[in-house]
């Protein structure tokens, strides 16, 4: 068995749909823990996840999962991965238990083991009460949790989550974060995509920003904030609340000239940019 | 630098492979559950055969044959095939639904042959429609249908029905694969559902205008109806039997080739 600190290695990964280059030579090393791939709609996040999970072909470059090539060792890679796609893949006509047992049986568990594992997962994801109900009657949050549980039947070593909390209310979102954290603590490497900075900030050990098929930044949240752009001059209203923000390149001269452009009576504070502002600078778009 | 960072697979979950047949039985079970839990499918399976038998026997039977009892013997095979068409058409919707939700993605990322999903839908459709066939025959008998077939003829007749169901189900599964939506998938089935009306299923081809007659004599439903009718009457179907076997085999072969070509290229249609 390979012991490695490199979970995914992308080397010049390229993907085109017709004339449209969706991933433009992405090179990226992803280690253990939780990694967030952040980017606006259409950046290529789903495409990247689908290539890792063997659902799309590469047009160029190389990609390995724990040292196994996604093209040449497709079956091995599939054994290592769990995927929760952007659209939930639960069967609404089947109960929670039946959904999980079906996946267990397809993965080679005996009927008995599949039932036992289903029971464990239903407990773990707070679905025990709804176990016998059809998944079609579940709320969005419950469906998402069942979907996640279905990706975990065989305890994958690498979990891919494509916008796992999109469309969830804040409470369900927090509950799902908690589950993902627990999985990561147990040693599952997690790659998740998100449009929410808050989510990347709260969950991820490392964050990468994808924009139009290119990786434009990579690092911890603190590194990203420190690396990109300079301090922000924030203008405050009479209640001390921020009413506007002006970005600077971080040099004393630029900050001073920005301050001079404001009326002398203006109340201001100078601070580090938020992750939001960093991503806005990097991509020229709002992430959300 | 090398660190022990990503844990090994859990000891409780060794990398076993499912048995060769397991994916097929699992998906057949799933599709059957779908059928049993879908009120529309159940209605289609029971009410439609019953209603069609009643309508054809009492409404058209009197007008066409003069004697509705005699017409039952004539029309039962046609109604079996008509119901099979409607029943098989639901396969297109079921397959299309799997392609437009995340289901196909989940299956594709598991170490099982993806076609097992289609086989599940097909086998379930076969069982569902054989059940409808039984309903048609049962209602027919209640209304006065008196088949003269012996065990061999029964077996042959049911075999022909099953072969035809299999063939059009495979074709509808392919349509479900290529249709953009479940609605479009069911729309494509129109032509197949129309076939029995332009055949000897309900009226003898001799009564048709010559252009329609040429069509009726060269499409699968006519030799199938004639053969099943003969078998149920306890007589030999003669030359019709050859066409009645070759047509479904041909349709099946075309459907399987098209599916084998198309399925690996099918992406889930909810990617973005
Ligand atoms: N199957 C496909 N065929 C054609 N274009 C696609 C396909 N999948 C994705 N795209 C295009 O690729 C780009 C990136 O899409 P996607 O990976 O879904 O982005 P994201 O998940 O970041 O929103 C988009 O412009 C999208 O329209
Ligand atoms: Mg996406």
Tens digits of residue pLDDT in B75-96? 999 999 999 988 888 899 899 9
User: Per the domain annotation, does B3 fall within a domain?
Assistant: no
| Domains held by chain B: number | 1
- Domains in chain A: boundaries: 8-90+138-225, 96-136, 230-272
State residue A287's pLDDT score: 43
Q: With 70 as the cut, is the pLDDT of residue A191 above it? A: yes
Strand order in the sheet with A68-69: A20-30, A8-17, A60-65, A68-69
**Which neighbouring-strand residues pair with A8?**
A30, A65
Q: Taking each helix axis from N to C terminus, what angle separates A96-106 and B22-37, rounded to the nearest 10 degrees?
A: 160
User: Per the domain annotation, does B88 fall within a domain?
Assistant: yes
Q: How confident is the model at residue A288 (pLDDT cuts 50, 70, 90)?
A: very low
State residue B63's pLDDT score: 67
Rounded CA separation A95/A137 (Å) = 9
Q: Taking each helix axis from N to C terminus, what angle separates B68-100 and B151-178, rounded to the nearest 10 degrees?
A: 40
For residue B184, the Cα-to-chain-centroid distance in whole angstroms is: 18
Judging contacts by C-beta atoms under 8 Å, the chain B residues touching residue A189 are 5-6
Average pLDDT over residues B249-271: 86
What is the value of ipTM here, to two decimals?
0.85
Mutate-to-test residue for ligand 1 from A22, A210, A279, highest number of ligand atoms within 8 A of CB = A22
State residue B11's pLDDT score: 36
Tens digits of residue pLDDT in A93-137? 999 999 999 999 999 999 999 999 999 999 999 999 999 999 999
Whether B1 and A5 lie within 8 Å, measured CB to CB: yes
Average pLDDT over residues B8-18: 52
With a 6 Å cutoff on the Cβ, whether A57 touches ligand 1 is: no
Atom of ligand 1 nearest to the CA of A44: 17
Whether B102 and A89 lie within 8 Å, measured CB to CB: yes
Rounded CA separation B92/B197 (Å) = 21
Whether A107 and B18 lie within 8 Å, measured CB to CB: yes
Q: With 80 as the cut, is the pLDDT of residue B5 above it? A: no
Query: CATH top-level class for A8-90+138-225?
Result: alpha beta
Judging contacts by C-beta atoms under 8 Å, the chain A residues touching residue B10 are 155
- Structural domain including B118 reads 23-265
Q: Quote the pTM value.
A: 0.84
With a 6 Å cutoff on the Cβ, whether B272 touches ligand 1 is: yes
Whether A4 and B6 lie within 8 Å, measured CB to CB: yes
User: Per the domain annotation, does B6 fall within a domain?
Assistant: no
Nearest CA to ligand 1 atom 3: A17
Average pLDDT over residues A69-79: 91
B157 neighbors B116 (Cβ within 8 angstroms):
no
Average pLDDT over residues B250-272: 84
User: Per the domain annotation, does B91 fall within a domain?
Assistant: yes
Rounded CA separation B201/B194 (Å) = 11
Residue A218 Cα to ligand 1 middle (Å)? 22
Instruction: Name which residue leads in pLDDT, A104 or A288.
Output: A104
């Amino acid at each position: 068995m390979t012991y490695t600190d490199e979970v995914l290695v992308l080397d010049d990964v390229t993907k085109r749909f017709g004339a449209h280059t969706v991933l433009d030579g992405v090179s990226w090393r992803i280690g253990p823990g939780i990694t967030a791939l952040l980017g606006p709609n259409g950046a290529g996040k789903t495409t990247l996840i689908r290539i890792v999970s063997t659902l799309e072909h590469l047009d160029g470059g190389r990609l390995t999962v724990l040292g196994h090539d996604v093209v040449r060792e497709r079956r091995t890679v599939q054994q290592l991965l769990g995927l929760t796609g952007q659209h939930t893949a639960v069967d609404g006509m089947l109960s929670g238990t039946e959904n999980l047992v079906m996946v267990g049986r397809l993965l080679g568990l005996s009927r008995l083991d599949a039932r036992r594992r289903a029971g464990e997962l239903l407990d773990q994801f707070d679905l025990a009460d709804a176990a016998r109900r059809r998944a079609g009657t579940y709320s969005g949050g419950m469906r998402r949790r069942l979907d996640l549980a279905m990706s975990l039947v065989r305890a994958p070593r690498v979990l891919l989550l494509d916008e796992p909390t999109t469309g969830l209310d804040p409470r369900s979102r927090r509950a799902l974060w908690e589950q993902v954290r627990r999985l990561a603590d147990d040693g599952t490497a997690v790659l998740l995509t998100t449009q929410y900075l808050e989510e990347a900030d709260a969950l991820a050990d490392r964050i990468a920003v994808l924009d139009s098929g290119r990786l434009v930044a990579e690092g911890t949240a603190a590194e990203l904030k420190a690396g990109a752009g300079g301090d922000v001059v924030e203008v405050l209203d009479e209640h001390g609340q921020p009413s506007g923000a002006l970005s600077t390149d971080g040099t004393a001269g630029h900050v001073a000239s920005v301050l001079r452009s404001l009326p002398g009576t203006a109340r201001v504070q100078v601070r580090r940019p938020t992750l939001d502002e960093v991503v806005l600078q990097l991509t020229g778009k709002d992430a959300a | 630098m090398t660190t022990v960072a990503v844990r090994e697979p859990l000891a409780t979950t060794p990398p076993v492979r499912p048995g060769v047949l397991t994916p097929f039985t699992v998906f057949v079970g799933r599709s059957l559950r779908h059928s049993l839990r879908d009120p529309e499918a159940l209605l289609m399976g029971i009410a439609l055969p019953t209603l069609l038998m009643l309508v054809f026997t009492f409404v058209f039977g009197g007008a066409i044959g003069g004697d509705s009892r005699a017409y039952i013997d004539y029309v039962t095979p046609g109604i079996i095939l008509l119901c099979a068409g409607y029943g098989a058409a639901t396969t297109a919707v079921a397959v299309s639904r799997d392609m437009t939700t995340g289901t196909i993605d989940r299956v594709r990322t598991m170490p099982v042959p993806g076609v097992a999903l289609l086989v599940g839908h097909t086998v379930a459709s076969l069982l569902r429609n054989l059940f409808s066939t039984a309903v048609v025959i049962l209602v027919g008998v209640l209304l006065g249908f008196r088949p003269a077939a012996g065990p061999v003829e029964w077996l042959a007749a049911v075999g022909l029905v099953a072969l035809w169901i299999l063939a059009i189900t495979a074709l509808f599964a392919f349509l479900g694969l290529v249709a953009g939506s479940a609605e479009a998938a069911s729309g494509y089935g129109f032509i197949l559902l129309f076939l029995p009306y332009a055949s000897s299923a309900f009226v003898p081809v001799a009564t048709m205008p010559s252009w329609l007659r040429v069509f009726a004599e060269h499409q699968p439903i006519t030799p199938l109806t004639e053969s099943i009718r003969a078998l149920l009457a306890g007589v030999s179907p003669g030359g019709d039997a050859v066409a009645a076997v070759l047509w479904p085999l041909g349709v099946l072969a075309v459907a399987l080739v098209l599916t084998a070509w198309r399925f690996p290229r099918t992406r889930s249609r909810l990617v973005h």
